[in-house]
Amino acid sequence: MAVTRPIRSDHRTTSPALKIRAATNQDLAAIFEIERLAFTHPWSLDSFVRELSLPFSLTLVATLDRPGEPALAGYLCRWLVADECHILNVAVHPERRRQGIAERLMAAAIAEAIAKKATIVTLEVRRTNLAARGLYRKFGFEERRLRRNYYGPGEDAIVMELKL
């Protein structure tokens, strides 16, 4: 099984100090801080606590080992149910954006989905979030349909899919 399109590389590179691992309860405060900085309508802390307890949910974190920088650079939350991986949320700390961290998190989630025999990865993205849509297209995601007002009045979502 392979991703339908190879990932294009670009000029950005992440630090070799960046590590991707499963989140733990000790990461919740930092995850919630990134969530609050990244989104106008953030998830609650209880939502993240719940995600850590669900057997089909996994939250990945990207961590750095550099003094003076946020230790937790970003996170990705996904569900893996039957043969489908659904990406619920991806966010990177504002001080660490545009450095390939979201790309590394997505690559890890897709690799895990392939290893667990998923056949499709899905997600919703704001229609206006051109940067995220571009990132997902790098992985071969295709825009499939529109969900009107998904994020609230006037905030449409585009459903994107990657067939594995």
The residues assigned a catalytic role are 124, 136
Identify the bridge partners of residue 76 per DSSP, sorted by sequence position.
60, 90
Amino acid type, 66? R
Instruction: Supply φ then ψ for residue 144, to 5 degrees.
Output: -105, -45
Query: How far, in Å, CA of 5 to CA of 163, rounded?
Result: 10
Closest by CA position to 61, among listed 83, 29, 86, 95: 29
Closest by CA position to 61, among listed 94, 100, 104: 104
Strand, helix or coil for residue 96: helix
